[in-house]
């Protein structure tokens, strides 16, 4: 390698680092980084020790090897927000890796600069919210999308060892995605498999011993890595307490996220609930998510309700039994929803490409439209610069790739509509992966065309530069402005919600001898904005003397450990004990008659009495503290 080439590589590296720093600074100078949901803050509390008093790798949602490592970091240096920092590094690191690959692929300084401008436009125009308001499922999607792009655009080589060496990074990114959120990684796996098939199909000869060894060894290594992670995770959660809880956790997830809880008073439901010993008042705890108050709500009961729902689906009730699984919509209904989203794109491209979480809000709707233009535009450019100029077999291959990609994205979207899970933290990873695969195919096919046609491809090179310029202007203008408005609006709402939540946290901290049990739906959001926390502020990880009365941590060994630390055997007894310093917290407008009904069913007459209140910054009451005596 010549000294001039080394200097060029060094300048490119410095340029990419400066570019990534700019991508970080643009949102950071205006906004603070936030955790998206209380799911993320619960994971952070467990890892940091704010939940039980000591850092723990048993955060349930992430795979144990990774969660254990983050917990070790908290043990070593507690003041550093390791979990949030890790998520940020993963997301901005994915942008950096893609930028480095673009610098390697693009020829000429103008092409390099324009490719970075386009990447900046996509990153900030489409995904500024995800870069500012962090959600671990989306972070998993960033890692998978980056892995797809790096794998597709990797240099072809016949040497097995060199091929494996060049693809270590994509394989590690897949493994990282799997450890962060295995469900997202597996959902996006078809995109990676398509990338692998296209990559293998691009070899000069398909069935050669070297090619078979290259791809099978890479696939085998990735699978072995995942199996090793699963093995470590299974061993870590292998005790009876954790095994029982994981069973409970899976049953709860099926019921709440996929099946839904049938009404107590409809048709044969009341008879079924009576047969499994679930009273009307205990059902209310399932309905309002405060099931931690009732120890009788266990895995067996949730499994019984799930089986009842499966039976209802088989009988054609409000659920559907399709291809061996229960769904809220039939295949026909999901196809209709998918078609409607596609047709709606005539007036506002994007409803099918992003989640309907934003539909109905004018600011967020603009972000949805731009998201649709991004994907539709990517397909259009791919067809324009790679498909139309080609002939014969190459044209058929590109058409097959486009068709396969459309089939994969359509099947995944239809599945999401079937199970009614087309939510932002699921759809954004889908969008990331689809764009990454499209971009990878486009770069590969265009470069191959340049090699084959030589100077005859020059007109298409000029066209590519022109299109990139137009897209850069469009995204840096319309997309950035729309996304900036959306993030600004949400950020302002989060500041209001954050102020109320921090007031509650400070109140509890100021009454350290007490323990506070919070009504679940009072702890989720304010005026539709989730309660969460800033990542790089208020990094005090001292044990919190409060917890919500349900949620995915409830009834876990960590939950029992937290109660034991506070000297509480169970919150049902602690709340009503005259000797206890345990209090119930709810939003000011919450009806708590269900608490009196629940205890009354057990022969205990109680009346929630407001003993204190927490004021909001606007002067109103944010939360009320109740004594249940």
Decide if 112 is inside a domain: yes
252 found inside a domain: no
435 occurs within a structural domain:
yes
Residues 343 and 224 grouped into a single domain: yes
Q: For residues 609 and 79, what is the distance between their CA atoms, to the nearest angstrom? A: 38
Percent of the chain with pLDDT over 90: 57
Same-domain check for residues 185 and 97 = yes
Q: Where would I find the beta strands (DSSP E) of 438-486?
A: none
Going from the C-alpha of 514 to that of each of 291, 507, 545, 583, 585, the distances in angstroms are 22, 11, 7, 7, 12
Residue ranges making up the domain that contains 267: 261-327
Same domain, 485 and 503: no
* Rounded-to-integer distance, Cα 290 and Cα 300, Å: 18
Residue 477 and residue 424 in one domain: yes
Sign of the C-alpha dihedral, residues 360, 364, 367, 371? negative
Same domain, 162 and 41: yes
**What is the chain's alpha carbon radius of gyration, rounded to the nearest angstrom?**
27
Residues 26 and 88 in one domain: yes
Say if 211 falls within a structural domain: yes
Token pair for 461: 């090179």
The distance from CA 425 to its chain's CA centroid, rounded to whole angstroms, is 4
Sign, Cα dihedral of 321, 327, 332, 333:
positive
Do 313 and 408 fall within a single domain? no
Q: Specify if 247 maps to a domain.
A: no
Claim to verify: residue 528 and residue 456 sit in the same structural domain: no
**Tens digits of per-residue pLDDT, 61-116?**
999 999 999 999 999 999 999 999 999 999 999 999 999 999 988 887 888 888 88
Question: Which among 289, 308, 327 is the end of a domain?
Answer: 327
Q: How far apart are CA 171 and CA 227, in angstroms?
A: 14
Please give the model's pTM, rounded to 2 decimal places. Answer: 0.92
Q: What is the pLDDT of residues 18-61, one digit of tens each?
A: 999 999 999 999 999 999 988 999 999 999 999 999 999 999 99
d(CA 341, CA 409): 13
Domain assignment present for 255: no
What pLDDT is attached to residue 355? 40
Among 327, 352, 382, give the residue marking a domain's end.
Answer: 327
End-of-domain residue from the set 436, 459, 493: 493
pLDDT at position 461 = 53
For residue 377, which of 442, 430, 428 has the smallest C-alpha distance? Answer: 442
Shared-domain flag, residues 172 and 26: yes
Whether residues 485 and 505 share a domain: the answer is: no
Q: Does residue 246 sit within a domain?
A: no
Together in a domain, 392 and 282:
no
Give me the number of domains the chain comprises. Answer: 3
Distance CA 555, CA 373 (A): 45
Q: Is there a domain that residue 11 lies in? A: yes
**Per-10-residue mean pLDDT for the chain, 629 residues long?**
72 90 93 93 96 94 95 95 97 96 86 85 88 95 97 87 91 97 96 91 78 88 94 94 94 91 85 91 93 92 92 85 84 86 55 38 46 75 81 86 94 92 89 93 83 53 59 63 83 92 94 95 91 89 94 94 94 88 92 93 90 87 92
Same domain, 60 and 145: yes
pLDDT of residue 362: 41
């Amino acid at each position: 390698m010549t000294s001039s080439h080394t200097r060029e590589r060094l300048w490119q590296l410095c340029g990419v680092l400066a570019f990534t720093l700019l991508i970080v600074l643009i949102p950071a100078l205006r906004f603070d980084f936030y955790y998206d949901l209380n799911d993320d803050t619960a994971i952070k509390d467990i890892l940091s020790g704010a939940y039980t008093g000591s850092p723990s790798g048993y955060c349930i949602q992430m795979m144990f090897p990774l969660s254990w490592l983050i917990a070790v970091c908290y043990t070593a240096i507690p003041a550093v927000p390791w979990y949030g920092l890790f998520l940020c590094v993963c997301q901005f690191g994915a942008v950096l890796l893609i930028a480095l690959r673009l610098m390697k692929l693009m020829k000429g300084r103008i092409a390099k600069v324009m490719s970075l401008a386009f990447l900046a436009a996509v990153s900030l125009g489409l995904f500024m919210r995800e870069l500012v308001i962090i959600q671990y499922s989306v972070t998993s999607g960033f890692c998978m999308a980056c892995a797809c792009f790096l794998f597709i655009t990797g240099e072809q080589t016949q040497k097995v060892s060199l091929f494996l060496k060049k693809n270590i990074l994509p394989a590690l990114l897949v493994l990282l995605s799997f450890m962060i959120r295995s469900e997202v990684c597996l959902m996006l796996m078809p995109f990676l498999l398509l990338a692998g098939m296209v990559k293998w199909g691009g070899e000069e000869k398909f069935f050669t011993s070297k090619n078979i060894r290259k791809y099978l060894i890479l696939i085998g290594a990735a699978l072995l890595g995942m199996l090793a992670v699963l093995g470590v995770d299974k061993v870590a959660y292998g005790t009876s307490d954790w095994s029982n809880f994981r069973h409970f956790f899976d049953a709860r997830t099926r019921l709440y996220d996929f099946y839904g809880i049938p009404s107590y008073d409809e048709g044969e439901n009341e008879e079924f609930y009576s047969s499994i010993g679930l009273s009307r008042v205990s059902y209310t705890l399932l309905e309002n998510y405060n099931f931690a108050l009732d120890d009788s709500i266990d895995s067996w009961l949730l499994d019984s309700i799930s089986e009842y729902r499966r039976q209802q689906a088989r009988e054609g009730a409000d659920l559907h039994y399709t291809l061996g699984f229960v769904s809220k919509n039939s295949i026909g209904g999901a196809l209709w929803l998918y078609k409607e989203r596609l047709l709606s794109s005539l007036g506002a491209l994007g409803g099918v490409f992003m989640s309907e979480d934003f539909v109905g809000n004018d600011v967020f709707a603009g972000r949805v439209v731009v998201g649709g233009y991004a994907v539709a535009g990517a397909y259009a450019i791919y067809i324009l610069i790679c498909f139309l100029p080609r002939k014969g077999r190459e044209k058929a291959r590109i058409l097959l790739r486009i068709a396969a990609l459309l089939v994969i994205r359509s099947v995944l979207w239809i599945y999401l509509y079937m199970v009614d899970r087309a939510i932002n933290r699921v759809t954004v990873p889908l969008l990331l992966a689809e764009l990454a695969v499209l971009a990878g195919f486009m770069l590969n096919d265009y470069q191959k065309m340049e090699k084959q046609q030589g100077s005859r491809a020059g007109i298409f090179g000029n066209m590519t530069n022109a299109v990139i310029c137009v897209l850069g202007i469009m995204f840096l203008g319309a997309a950035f402005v729309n996304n900036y408005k959306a993030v600004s609006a949400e950020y302002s709402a989060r500041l209001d919600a954050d102020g109320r939540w921090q007031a509650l946290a400070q109140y509890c901290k100021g009454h350290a001898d007490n323990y506070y049990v919070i009504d679940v739906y009072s702890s989720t959001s304010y005026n539709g904005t989730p309660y969460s926390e800033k990542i790089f502020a208020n990094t005090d990880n001292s044990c919190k003397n409060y917890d919500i009365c349900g949620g995915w941590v409830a009834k876990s060994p960590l939950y029992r450990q937290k109660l034991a630390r506070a000297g509480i055997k169970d919150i049902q007894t602690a709340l009503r004990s005259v000797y206890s310093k345990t209090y119930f917290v709810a939003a000011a407008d919450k009806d708590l008659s269900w608490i009196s009904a629940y205890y009354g069913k057990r022969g205990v007459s109680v009346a929630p009495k407001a003993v204190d209140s927490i004021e909001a910054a606007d002067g109103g009451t944010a939360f009320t503290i109740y004594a249940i005596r």
